[in-house]
Amino acid sequence: MENSGPNIDQQAKELESLMARVRDLRWQFGDETYDLYLESVYDASQKIVSAVVKKPGETRALKLETKIDRVVTSKKWGFPIMFLLLAAVFWFTIVGTNYPSQWLSLLLVDTVHPWLKSMAELTELPFWISGLLIDGIYLTTAWVVSVMLPPMAIFFPMFTLLEDFGYLPRVAFNLDNVYRKVGAHGKQALTMSMGFGCNVTGVIASRIIDSPRERLIAIITNNFSLCNGRWPTQILIATIFIGSLAPSYLGGIVSAASVIAVALLGIFMSLLVSWGLHKTVLKGEASSFSLELPPYRPPRIKTILYTSLIDRTLVVLGRSVMFAIPAGMVIWLSVNISIDGKSLAFYLTEWMDPVALFFGLNGIIFLAYIIAIPANEIVLPTILLLTVLGSSVSGQEGMTMISANSALETADILKAGGWTLLTAVNLMLFSLLHNPCSTTIYTIYKETKSLKWTMYATFIPIVLGLVVTFLVARIWEIFG
């Protein structure tokens, strides 16, 4: 490229005069340019389409679609139908999870684990290697798989079915108005729905929101959507502690209802925090947008199975196992490194217990949440392992209580660890309201490029979680 000096100057001058002319013309049109242009576009497309498309008018299929929409997005039926569908999904998950969980636990925890231990004894592995590998890493992983896999393998295909059929945008449609009322963007209803799958996706999806202010609100509040990693925790705890309070034929329904209650509390919190942000640090007008309701489509079974089992179940499970390995090591070490005859975990839980109990939780839960910051998925397995290993600290050979091959036995372990109904309720609440997992935090930072907003997104939920569990614990004290 050879551009001599005068040439560039010449061009710059001409450009300047062009821009002057543009400014001049802009005075003539004002803000109308956009509308004038769009009008011409609409006109042209109208002409073309009417020439090439023959429509028979409202066909039966189209009429049916309109009818379905009129019901599922109606003021009267929209929300009840939404709750019923969600309830059905949870109920199937809860009822369907128990047996596969038992089988997996029977295989991985009751059969393979003792076999591995005996192999270790035969080969005379040093105690710390077999402990670290088999009691730490293997057992955590086995628990992650048997606790997490069955609910995911049932929940995700059903959730994906609703998505593929076209129901999720209707959920967004129903919620759109509510979100606008609290000063957030209506599209936040969509990103929130995506958060029910995974908060990382929900945070990234917030790019569909044009206004930076509303996009930030959507990003900061996405964590209030219960995600992949937290559904199984909710479902299991609900089954063990809340479902078991009801007569057995109602157990499934009661547990499903309590999970829905937590999910709804999440939606409520996202509205509340959006409103709070809108009133304080992120003031501004809510902008309008048009939401297109896509046609209902016959679900494609192959795609659903691929998306739900490979993209979701295996990815989430793989991630949990990846995090379970270091977590298992940390747990085993913290239980087995002792000072003055007492383990590190003992000191830590002992030290956190008074504070934790104040919030209706316990030290083990606090410790588990710290170990599980990288992935919410492993919170429950971590709690189980800490409880089991912790209770065996005093007696050296206390590894007998390790099998948790049904929800009932899991309950026994937890009850032996001093759990009450309050602990369970507050764990469910705290699982909803605490910091996002580290991947989400990193994604929030990448999307906002701001440390300040990342901190907001991280600490608002923790503070809310502590406030809510504190209040519940106090109310429990009064009535309990």
Partner 1 sequence: MMADPCSTCPIHHPGNLEKLGIDMSGFDYIIALAGNPNTGKSTVFNTLTGLHQHTGNWPGKTVSRAEGAYKYREKRYKLVDLPGTYSLLSTSTDEQVARDFILFGKPDVTVIVTDATRLQRNMNLVLQILEITDRAVLCVNLIDEAKRHQIEIDFRTLSRELGIPVAGTSAARQSGIPELLQKIEEVASGSFVCKPLRIKNKDKRLAEAIEEISQTLHTLYPGLPNAKWIALRLLEGDESIVNALDSGQLGNLTL
- Residues near partner 1, by CB under 8 A: 11, 14-15, 18-19, 21-22, 25-26, 28-29, 33-34, 36-46, 48-49, 51-56, 59, 61-62, 163-166, 168-169, 172, 187, 190, 204-205, 207-210, 290-292, 294-295, 297, 300, 303, 306-307, 310-311
Nearest distance in Å: CB 183, partner 1: 19
Nearest distance in Å: CB 45, partner 1: 3
Instruction: Supply the DSSP string of 235-270, one letter for each residue.
Output: HHHIIIIIGGGS-HHHHHHHHHHHHHHHHHHHHHHH
Q: Write the CA distances from 413 to 262, 309, 391, 400, 401, integer angstroms.
A: 24, 30, 10, 11, 8
Neighbours of 465 (CB within 10 A): 22
Q: Between residues 160 and 387, which has the closer beta carbon with respect to partner 1?
A: 160
Nearest distance in Å: CB 457, partner 1: 18
Q: Between residues 205 and 356, which has the closer beta carbon with respect to partner 1?
A: 205
Half-sphere exposure at residue 272, Cβ-oriented, CA atoms within 13 angstroms: 10
Nearest distance in Å: CB 164, partner 1: 5
Nearest distance in Å: CB 283, partner 1: 20
> Would you state the structure tokens that stand for residue 354, as one six-digit string?
């008074």
Q: Between residues 187 and 434, which has the closer beta carbon with respect to partner 1?
A: 187
Nearest distance in Å: CB 369, partner 1: 30
Query: Residue 300: enclosing H or E segment and its boundaries?
Result: none
Q: Between residues 49 and 119, which has the closer beta carbon with respect to partner 1?
A: 49
Q: Write the CA distances from 87 to 82, 116, 224, integer angstroms.
A: 9, 41, 19
The residues with which 342 forms a beta bridge, in sequence order, are 339
The closest of 331, 401, 318 to 133, measured between CA atoms, is 331
Nearest distance in Å: CB 85, partner 1: 15
Q: Between residues 61 and 370, which has the closer beta carbon with respect to partner 1?
A: 61
Nearest distance in Å: CB 37, partner 1: 6
Q: Between residues 35 and 477, which has the closer beta carbon with respect to partner 1?
A: 35
Q: Between residues 255 and 313, which has the closer beta carbon with respect to partner 1?
A: 313
Q: Write the CA distances from 52 to 47, 49, 174, 324, 367, integer angstroms.
A: 9, 5, 35, 59, 66
User: What is the DSSP pairing of strand 338-339 with strand 342-343?
Assistant: antiparallel
Tokens 């909803």 sit at which residue? 432
Q: How far does CA 295 lie from the centroid of its chain?
A: 27
Q: Between residues 28 and 400, which has the closer beta carbon with respect to partner 1?
A: 28
- What letter represents residue 17's amino acid? S
